Amino acid sequence: RGRRNVLFIMADDLRPSLGCYGDSVVKSPNIDQLASKSQVFLNTYAQQALCAPSRASMLTSRRPDTTRVYDFNSYWRDQSGNYTTLPQYFKSSGYFTASVGKIFHPGISSNFSDDYPYSWSIPAYHPPSFHYEKKKLCKGDDGKLHVNLLCAVNVTEQPGGTLPDLESTEEAVRLLKSWANNDAPFFLAVGFHKPHIPFRIPQEYLSLYPIENMTLAPDPNVPEFLPPVAYNPWTDIRGRDDVQKLNVSFPYGPIPKDFQLRIRQHYFAAVSYMDAQVGRLLSSLDALGLADDTMVVFTSDHGWSLGEHGEWAKFSNFNVATQVPLMFYVPGITIPRDQLGESTFPFIDILTQPKYRFKNDKVRRNVVELVDVFPTVASMAGLRAPEHCADVSFQEELCTEGDNLAHTFRRRERG
């Protein structure tokens, strides 16, 4: 192979509540292991804390004012310009590109096709069990099934005996196996649905976070001098059966403290569940002998407020809503080739292996943005990074409004 493959992993609504970002509560051993062999950007920010605009922005490397995608009802190729996406760029460079799970926001904002065939060599895969995500499948205290926010389940009792991210992992592994012996390089994007609400997750992950160990956000009240326009009333969680029962006042709440603790417990458990899927995926990459010529990118579309400022959502400009994890594993660069052992990413089952320790060797503290991802991934994979856009670039199909961070991989951080 002349070029590096790319495994591009995205979580949904994941703030940097991860061990590798210094969080002492969250258990994320597999992402921490990836971070220990990656360059980790500690201060990365999304351009808008909403799925469709953020993903369109990151994947085209244009800011929302250039994509003109601010909601769920616009497709950038119709709305603003025929911009080239990150996967499209790889596809046009000879890569086989595939999307598993949620990479583009589905629906209107990706032309009901996840931007296929522009971006992908084959139609995007969506896990069939996602169909049930908003159905009455969560057992309530009354023993009946509800559409709840808090929805830890026995997976064997769910339709099909599975959950969306489990299915996405299986499909991604299946694709990796089918490509393991191909000569053509691949760009595989895997978008996990968690820790996005509802917290429909395997119930065993809750046991990692005993409720008596949970704490409230350090600043759980709406700040006194916050302008009302800056506040979001987190309407999406208010519609869930279990939250409706709380009779929380609109728009400021608050949510009762015991329920706040349970939301935080479920979010952290959802992170650990998603981490396990990342671990399954990376250990398969490893087992197939692909870890030494595949770069791995891990990030999220935006963050989520876990009670900070009295909010329970993204939908704002607060750091907790806009900050995301970002790391790049580039074999031979973020880890010397002679340190690539037989097993680079052994799966760590946090349910049975609670003790682990990793150290981040390469971190960058300077502020970066998700619009930087496109030129950086292209460059680190061995392709030419797009040129910087002109001030007005609606007619330019290929350019970037971000910075190519490739130079940061070899130079010491300044300032």
Partner 1 sequence: KDEEAIAYSQYPRPADTPQVNSDVPDLKDVKVMGYSLRSWDYRYTLWLGYNPKTFQVNVSDVHAGELYILADDPGEDKNIYSDLEQSVVIKKLSTLP
* Catalytic residue list: 51, 105
116-124 long-range CB contacts below 8 Å, 24 or more apart? 118/77, 118/85, 118/88, 119/59, 119/85, 119/86, 119/87, 119/88, 119/91, 120/87, 120/91, 121/91, 121/96, 121/97, 122/98, 124/98, 124/99, 124/100
Q: Is 158 in the site for partner 1 (CB under 8 A)?
A: no
List the one residue from 63, 111, 214, 244 that touches partner 1 (CB under 8 A).
Answer: 63
* H or E, element range at 11: strand 5-11
Q: In the complex with partner 1, which residue's Cβ is closer, 134 or 174?
A: 134
Q: Is 64 in the site for partner 1 (CB under 8 A)?
A: yes
Kindly give, in sequence order, each residue whose CB lies less than 8 Å from that of residue 37, ignoring residues fewer than 6 positions away. Answer: 329, 334, 335, 344
Q: In the complex with partner 1, which residue's Cβ is closer, 32 or 308?
A: 308
Tokens 């503290």 sit at which residue? 365
Q: In the complex with partner 1, which residue's Cβ is closer, 106 or 279?
A: 106
Q: Is 213 in the site for partner 1 (CB under 8 A)?
A: no
Query: Measured from the CB of residue 363, what is the shortest distance to partner 1 in angstroms?
Result: 14
Q: In the complex with partner 1, which residue's Cβ is closer, 204 or 236?
A: 236
DSSP string, 184-196: S-EEEEEE--TTS
List the one residue from 94, 123, 159, 223 that touches partner 1 (CB under 8 A).
Answer: 223
Tokens 């790889």 sit at which residue? 90
Strands 145-146 and 138-139: antiparallel
Q: Is 112 in the site for partner 1 (CB under 8 A)?
A: no
Q: Is 397 in the site for partner 1 (CB under 8 A)?
A: no
List the one residue from 252, 356, 361, 384 that touches partner 1 (CB under 8 A).
Answer: 252
Q: In the complex with partner 1, which residue's Cβ is closer, 250 or 359?
A: 250
Q: Is 334 in the site for partner 1 (CB under 8 A)?
A: no
Q: Is 412 in the site for partner 1 (CB under 8 A)?
A: no
List the one residue from 207, 230, 353, 397 that touches partner 1 (CB under 8 A).
Answer: 230
Query: Measured from the CB of residue 139, what is the shortest distance to partner 1 in angstroms?
Result: 28
Alpha carbon distance 248, 158 (integer Å): 30
Contact predicate 164/127, CB 8 Å:
yes
Strands 294-300 and 39-45: unpaired
Q: In the complex with partner 1, which residue's Cβ is closer, 257 or 407?
A: 407
Q: In the complex with partner 1, which residue's Cβ is closer, 48 or 169?
A: 48
Bridge partner residues of 298 (DSSP)? 9, 327
Q: Is 332 in the site for partner 1 (CB under 8 A)?
A: no
Helix (H, G, I), strand (E, B) or coil at 339: helix
Alpha carbon distance 306, 284 (integer Å): 32
List the one residue from 319, 339, 343, 353 that touches partner 1 (CB under 8 A).
Answer: 319
List the one residue from 3, 25, 68, 246 that touches partner 1 (CB under 8 A).
Answer: 68
Q: Is 316 in the site for partner 1 (CB under 8 A)?
A: yes
List the one residue from 218, 249, 336, 355 that touches partner 1 (CB under 8 A).
Answer: 218
Q: Is 308 in the site for partner 1 (CB under 8 A)?
A: yes
| Size of the residue set binding partner 1 (CB under 8 A) | 51
Residue 358 structure tokens? 């990793």
Q: Is 414 in the site for partner 1 (CB under 8 A)?
A: yes
Determine the interface stretch with partner 1 among 30-38, 45-53, 147-155, 325-333 (rule: CB under 8 A): 45-53
Query: Measured from the CB of residue 71, what is the shortest distance to partner 1 in angstroms?
Result: 5
Helix (H, G, I), strand (E, B) or coil at 26: coil
Q: In the complex with partner 1, which residue's Cβ is closer, 199 or 231?
A: 231
Could you count the other beta carbons within 10 Å of the beta carbon of residue 200? 30
The pair phi, psi for residue 101, each rounded to 5°, is 80, -145
Q: Is 351 in the site for partner 1 (CB under 8 A)?
A: no
Q: Is 317 in the site for partner 1 (CB under 8 A)?
A: yes
The pair phi, psi for residue 256, each rounded to 5°, is -55, 145
Alpha carbon distance 378, 415 (integer Å): 26
- Which residues of this protein are in contact with partner 1, per CB under 8 A? 43-50, 63-65, 68, 70-74, 218-219, 223, 225-236, 250-252, 308-309, 313, 315-319, 322, 365-369, 414-415
